[in-house]
Structures are given as C-alpha cells and as structure tokens.
Amino acid sequence: MEKNVNILFYIVFNLILQSTYCHSQEMKDEVEKLIKSEFGISIKINFSKYEIEKKVSSKIEKQVNQKFFGSSVYLYQITSKEKIEGYALLDNVYGKSLPITFIVFFDNNGNILSTNVLKYREQYGGSVKNPKWNEQFVGKNSGSSFEIGKEISSISGATISVNSVTKGIQKSALLIKEIIESGE
Amino acid sequence: MRITFLTLFTMQIFNHCLFSQDFDFNTSKVTIGGYGELHYNNEKTGEQDVKTMLDFHRFVLFFGYNWNEKWSFKSEVELEHNFVQSGQGELELEQAYINYHHDDYFGFQAGVILTSIGLINENHEPPLFFGVERPDYHNRIIPTTWFGNGAAIYGNFNGFDYKFTVLEGLNSDKFSASNGIRNGREKGYRPKADRLLYNARVDYLNLQGLRFGASYTYNDAKGDSTNIPVSILELHAKYEANNIYSVFEIGNIGYKNRSIESSLGYYFDLGYDIASIIDWDVELIPFFRYSDTNTSANVNDNSVSEEHYHFTQFMVGLSFKPISQIVFKVDYSHRNRESDNQKIVLFNLGLGYMF
C-alpha cells in the first residue's frame, strides 16, 4: 500500500515538474530539432552563452534603434568534420510587454538561413510565428535592409511584434558578423 | 523506499531541469504605453459651417505588469476631450484585466475587457486606421470603443485566432434610431449582471498580409422599460502587403420587440503607399473610402423612416507616417442622407501617435 502511494506521489510529482518547471527544456529540445533539420544530423553543436562586448552592443543598438534584451545571447556553433557549417543565435525582444524568444540560423558567412519565433507570450501579435512571414528574412545579412512595409511586410494586428522581431533579427545579423570577424 | 524515491526526484530535478534554467526568460516588468490624437474638424452644410473644432480627442495611457510569463495585468485609461466636468469630456477605464496566457492555443482574461468585434475595437490606435475620425461604421454600427466588465478565453490554432467573451449586457432603454446600440453600452458603470452578453470571434491569419474573420454577438438586452434582444453578425477583412492597404467590413444588428428590426452598415478602404515608388523611407498613403450605414435599415411600422438614418459617404484622404507609430492625417468627404438628400461636407486634419 505504502509503495503504491509512493508511486502515485512520484507520478503526480513528475507531472507537476514536467508541466511547470521544464518549459525551458521543451525549448531546448525544439532548438536542437531545428538545428538538425537545418544542418543535418551528423553535426557537432557547440553551445555557449555569449557575452556581448559593450562597444559592440552599443554600436548595434544605435544602428537598429533597439536595445539588446540582456548582456548576453545564446550562441550555437555548428561544425561538421572540424569545419564550421553555420551558427544560430537565440535571443529575446520585448513585444508589447513580454519577451518574444526567437532564433536565427546563419551560414558560415553570416547569411540568414532561416528564422523562427520559438515562444510568443501575449494575446495579440502571435502571427510573427507564421513560417511564411519568417521566410522573408532568408538570405539577408548584416548589410541588408530590414525596412517594414518594404522588404518585410507588416501584419495586421501585430504591428508592435513585427517591429520588435524584425529589429531583433537585424541585431542578430549584425552581431553574427562581429562574432565571425572576431574569429570566435 | 522513500530514500530511493527522494534520490530519484532529486536526480530528475538536476538532470532534467536545472540544466536548462538558462532558457527561463521570466522577468517581472512594468510596461507603459499610450496613444493620442489631435483633430481639427470642419463640417459644412451648404456654405454654412456647422462645426469647426480643434479637439485633442483622446489621450490614453496603457499600464501593465507581468508577474511572470503567464500571469500579467493590463490596463488602459482614457481621457477624452482634455477636460472632464458634468456632461463634458470623459474619463474611462477601458481595460483593466488579469491575463493568464497558458500557451498559443489558450489564454484567459477577466476584468474590464474589450468586445472582440470588427477590426478597430481591439486595435484602435490612430496609426492603424485611415481617416482622422474612426470610420462612421465604427461609430453607428459597431460602437467602438466597446468595453465592459467580463471574462474571455482566446487562442490560436494553425492560423485560426479565436476569442470568446462574456460581458456585461446592454441597456436597451438607450438604443436609438440614430445611434443603434451605441448609447446602450454600460461602460462598466455598475452594470446589471443578470443578462450577459456573449461574443465569439474567429479570424484566419496565415495568408501573407491578409486577415479576415467574423464575429457573432448576442445579448438579451433589457432596460427599465424595454427588453430588446440583439444579435450582431459582422465580417471583416484587412489586406496590407505589396504597398496596398485595403479594408472591408460589413455588419448587421438584428433587434427583437422593436419597430426597428435591423441596423446595417459596411465600408471599404483602398490605399496605396506612394512613398514606395520613389523609394522614400516613410509611408505616404492616399486612400479612398466608400461607406454606407443605416441604423434603421428595416422598420416594421411607420414610426421611423428607413431613409432618415441612412448615410452614404465618399472620402478621400492621406496618411503620412514619418515613422510607423506617428501619423499625420487629412481627409475630405461628402456625407449624404437618403431621406432629404442633405449633404454634409467634412474636412479633417489629424495627428496621432502610439507607443
């Protein structure tokens, strides 16, 4: 009897753990899945929390007119047979009030391969998750124009998130250029 | 045995979760936003000026707080026409609710909330619509801004965005031939809770640049002397891509126990961003609007004329946005009443912002 209660307790505890505590694990799994679909399965993923140099972040923030979410971003370096295949940068921007988590994949020259909004946390503006909208960024790099209404279409009912995410992706493109050039 | 389980729990926490704490982006944060609009209105009947006014129509502040990524508070306080005294100006609490955002497909909110109806009621910041004043349709048919005390669930499945709202009801004593249900809104001021309003909306969002959808609203509206059940069906579509900006909305209000059986209206906007042609880094959008609204579209006796509250309107105008959140507007229109062919000429200038 006591054993059964223990097992039941264990299951319930686990369910609570899974549902409340491990959302970040879901995101981690999703990122790995995306990396593998982008670069194939026979790759090595090197993950690090990348501290952005103050000089670099101020320069980019000034150009894009949006602050970085924090002092660091998450950097994935993807290698295959000791050769760098590409990169991914995971970062956040603020929507109307809550963070929007997104990831940008780059080839080894810093050209965007794909973008993906991993988590959207508000009622309005969730359309920035739409894959069709994200396709517009493919091929862009640090030198490209990211103007909304021209290169990037706006979305009705998602004005603020379109604005934030577009700027966030442009910041990533500028930052990856710095990272590649610094040889890290 | 207990020790074994305890060890398992601990291992699970460490293996499974703490490792990925890095991806936890919960941050408590206060957010402030707002919008506002200054209007110059000029109305002429014949050569006679019937109205000239310089009005700071709306000043609105948003205030919000996030406890974590699921639980947040949002509010909107509005001051209309600068100054409030008995019968002048308005101070309104248009939104104040607790929001629980479970995931993309499900969220919940309760407090002072907005009815989910038409394109403008929930997205009413001035840079988001053409014309200095909100379209006639959103005054006479859909009474924006329509808010009240209640609760809603919302979410998004594969591009289908839904919201179901239960709200305080309307006061049917205040329905009128000229304004439809507009004056029946209780605006959260001690509303009766025995006849709630039900409102459901679905939109499809996954076609590039296009949003279209429909909503249905029902309320068995009651006042001290009348009981008029109303049902509102409206369809809406907005296209914003390739420098084209276009809107179409149509709505019908059906009434029971009343000589007026329905109110009907629609409007159509078409604009094109000409700044794109000369590669100018702003938005400069001339637009055209045709609007038709009739608050007494169907009448079952002779008490009210079906033509007297039937207005058609042609409008041309220009929106200039130096940046996407600031807009300068100008519009010129002819509004025509069917019954006596009375023509009103309207000229408006406006400045609006949002942040």
ipTM for the complex shown: 0.75
Residue B174 vs residue B28, higher pLDDT? B174
Burial of residue B136, with CB atoms counted within 10 A of its CB: 0-12 exposed, 13-18 middle, 19 or more buried? buried
With an 8 Å Cβ cutoff, is A84 touching chain B? no
> Which chain A residue shows the shortest CA-CA distance from B13?
A17
Take residue B36 and report the two structure tokens written for it.
């506002």
**pLDDT score of B199 more than 60:** yes
Residue of A nearest to B17 (CA): A22
Please report which confidence band the pLDDT of residue A14 belongs to, taking 50, 70 and 90 as the band edges.
low
Q: What is the mean pLDDT of residues A43-52?
A: 93
Question: Which parts of B179-256 are beta strand (E)?
Answer: 197-207, 210-222, 227-241, 244-255
The answer to whether B161 contacts A14, with C-beta atoms less than 8 Å apart, is no
- The stretch B313-342 carries a mean pLDDT of 95
Mean pLDDT of all residues in B325-350:
95
Beta-carbon contacts below 8 Å between A and B? 121
Please tell me the distance in Å from A100's CA to the nearest CA on chain B. 9
Q: Give B128's contacts in chain A (Cβ within 8 Å).
A: 159
pLDDT for position A3:
66
Write out pLDDT tens, residues B1-25: 555 555 555 555 544 444 445 676 7
Torsion over CA: A22, A28, A31, A36 (sign): negative
* A1 and chain B in contact, CB less than 8 A: no
**Cross-chain CB nearest to B101 (options A2, A121, A163):** A121
Strand bridging mode B29-45 / B343-354: antiparallel
Residue B299 in contact with residue B292, Cβ under 8 Å? no
pLDDT at B296: 96
A102 touches chain B (CB under 8 A): no
Residue of B nearest to A163 (CA): B324
Q: Check CB contact under 8 Å for B17 and A74.
A: no
Interface test with B, best of A73, A156, A159 (most B CBs within 10 A): A156
Interface probe, candidates A4, A71, A121, A122, chain B, greatest B C-beta count within 10 A: A121
pLDDT in tens, B246-267: 999 999 999 999 999 999 999 9
Top pLDDT among B201 and A40 is at B201
CA distance B101 to chain A (A): 7
d(CA B110, CA B194): 18
C-alpha–C-alpha distance, residues B168 and B115, integer Å: 10
Q: What was the pLDDT predicted at B324?
A: 86
The answer to whether A132 contacts chain B (CB < 8 Å) is yes
**Predicted local distance difference test score (pLDDT) of residue B292:** 98
CB contact under 8 A, A159 and B128: yes
What percent of chain B stands above pLDDT 70? 93
Domain residue spans in chain B? 96-347
| A166 vs B: CB within 8 A | no
Q: Do A24 and B21 touch (CB under 8 A)?
A: yes
- State the burial class of residue A41 (Cβ atoms within 10 Å of its Cβ: 0-12, 13-18, 19+): exposed
The pLDDT value given to residue A16: 55
Q: What is the pLDDT of residue B270?
A: 98
pLDDT digits (tens, 9 = 90+) for A69-125: 999 999 999 999 889 999 999 999 998 888 999 999 999 999 999 999 999 998 888
Note whether B324 contacts A163, CB cutoff 8 Å: yes
Whether residues B24 and A24 touch (CB distance < 8 A) is answered with: yes
Flag if B9 and A13 touch (Cβ within 8 Å). Answer: yes
Task: Bin B159: left if φ > 0, else alpha if -120 < ψ < 50, else beta.
Answer: left
Cβ of B20 within 8 Å of Cβ of A96? The answer is: no
CA atoms within 13 A on the CB side of B119: 31
| Domain residue ranges in chain A | 25-181
Per the CB < 8 Å rule, is B22 touching A157?
no
Per residue in A126-178, pLDDT tens? 889 999 899 999 999 999 999 887 788 888 878 889 999 999 999 999 999 99
Does residue B189 register a pLDDT over 70? yes
How large is the average pLDDT for residues A20-37? 80
Task: Please answer whether residues B13 and B40 qualify as being in contact, where contact means their C-beta atoms are separated by less than 8 angstroms.
Answer: no
- A48 in contact with B at a CB cutoff of 8 Å? no
Q: Tell me what pLDDT residue B304 has.
A: 86
pLDDT one-digit tens code per residue, B52-80: 999 999 999 999 999 988 999 999 999 99
pTM of the model: 0.85
Q: Which fold has domain B96-347?
A: Porin (2.40.160)
What distance in Å separates residue A172's CA from the closest CA in chain B?
A: 17
Checking if the pLDDT of B231 tops 80, the result is: yes
CA distance A161 to chain B (A): 12
Cα(B297)–Cα(B309) distance, rounded to whole angstroms? Answer: 8
pLDDT at residue number B75: 97
What is the per-residue pLDDT across B105-151, written as a single tens digit (0 to 9) for each? 999 999 999 999 999 999 999 999 999 999 999 999 999 999 999 99
Asked if residue A166 has a cis previous peptide bond (ω within 30° of 0), the answer is no
Taking the C-alpha atoms of residue A158 and residue B205, their distance in angstroms, rounded to an integer, is 10
A123, A148, A150 member nearest B99 (Cβ): A123
pLDDT at residue B268 in the model: 98
Nearest residue in A to B243, CA atom: A149
pLDDT in tens, B281-326: 899 999 999 999 999 999 999 888 899 999 999 999 999 999 989 9
Q: Which residues of B touch A149 (CB under 8 A)?
A: 243, 273, 276, 283, 324
Average of per-residue pLDDT across B190-214: 93
Residue of A nearest to B273 (CA): A149
Contact residues on chain A for B33, CB-CB shorter than 8 A: 96
pLDDT of residue B19: 45
Mean pLDDT of chain A: 88
The residue among B248, B243, B216, B244 whose CA lies nearest residue B232 is B216
List CB contacts (< 8 A) between B60 and chain A: none
Q: Which of A3-7, A94-98, B212-216 has the lowest mean pLDDT?
A: A3-7
